Amino acid sequence: MASTPLRVGVIGYGLAGSVFHAPLIALTPGLELAAIVTSNPARRKQAQHDYPSAALLDTADALFADKTIDAVVVASTNRTHVPFAEAALRAGKHVVIDKPAAETAAEVESLITLAREQQRVLTIYQNRRWDGDFLTLRKILDQKLLGDVFSFESRFERYRAEPNLAAWREQVDEIGGLLYDLGSHLIDQALQLFGPAERVYAEVEARRPEAKTDDVVFVNLTHRNGVRSRLHATSVARIFGPRFHVRGLQGAFEKYGLDPQEDALRTGHRPGNSDWGTEPREAWGRLSTQVGGLHVDGPVETLPGCYQRFYELFQKAAAEGEPPPVNPHDAVESLRIIEAARHSSKTGEVIWLA
């Protein structure tokens, strides 16, 4: 007999809630999208259209008070992540927090302690661990096709000539800016590939006229194993650099373009088709390697991306006690780097991590 699905409530129905969370929850076996919290009239109308069986709530407190809700997804503005997550845990709910989990590492450490006390699952939505290009690079590294890696370059680049001053993501008070937004992904991926960092140098700038938050970010990490990660995020790139450029002593890998899953979700497509998350051949990366008797110089097929895997793993964690899809301690390490990057940018110093 099938077990009763976990009832999930989502706080927020902006980009994160409507594109990255609700569709994947609704498609995951063992999960039920039971409630959506939004007070915005237009978003309430859209949520009702998209998920007519989900309850529409005006406040997060109403969600926390609902004893039939098993798990809460915090997909609201960054500043609300910690108080909403804390309230949900105290109400006995499992919790998913959209990145960035918080402003500081100490805040996430406090949430980890509370989750342990409440015996609830706490995890962070780092969906780009399931980008196809990242999965492909990880496979290449696992197979040691580049030899000893010494340089990793990673970019998220856009071109938006003018800041959207009405958007909360571009407000300092809301923990906006690219360092916390795209930087959370860049740093998380670098740590996943090459392990802990010991030194941080950063340049975090607001270059567009009237911009209130950073729109050009460079973070240089020296990992304990000696790999140097150079991470770039910008809103003012008319010509994009490679998404990944990785060099080792026996090989190199370069990849342009972004994983297609975000665009697919934005346009209403959903996981389930055999071609979900796949890229055409012209979008594949290039691998050049000469390791042992292997000599390759040409395109390498991009593995399919699979954002849906996050919620499949979350369901197993909450229902069966399996490990969470993202260990919240990983967010602590990423935020330590973000805090160091902010300090480095202000002082020009290289920051050593304890």
Distance CA 313, CA 272 (A): 17
Q: In the CATH hierarchy, which fold is given to the domain comprising 128-308+336-352?
A: Dihydrodipicolinate Reductase; domain 2 (3.30.360)
CATH 3.30.360.10 range(s) for the chain read: 128-308+336-352
Distance CA 78, CA 281 (A): 37
Do the Cβ atoms of 87 and 63 come closer than 8 Å? no
* Stretch 334-348: mean pLDDT: 98
Structure tokens at 227: 């790999």
Q: Is the pTM of this model over 0.95?
A: yes
By mean pLDDT, which of 163-167, 200-204, 223-227, 323-327 is the weakest?
Answer: 163-167
Q: What is the mean pLDDT of the chain?
A: 97
* Stretch 80-102: mean pLDDT: 98
More confident residue, 30 or 1: 30
What pLDDT score was predicted for residue 3? 81
Condensed to tens digits (0 to 9), the pLDDT of residues 108-123 reads 999 999 999 999 999 9
What pLDDT score was predicted for residue 2? 59
Condensed to tens digits (0 to 9), the pLDDT of residues 275-285 reads 999 999 999 99
Q: Which stretches of 207-288 are DSSP H helices?
A: 261-266
Level-2 CATH architecture, domain 6-127: 3-Layer(aba) Sandwich (3.40)
In the three-class reduction of DSSP (H, G, I as helix; E, B as strand; rest coil), residue 214 is classed as: coil
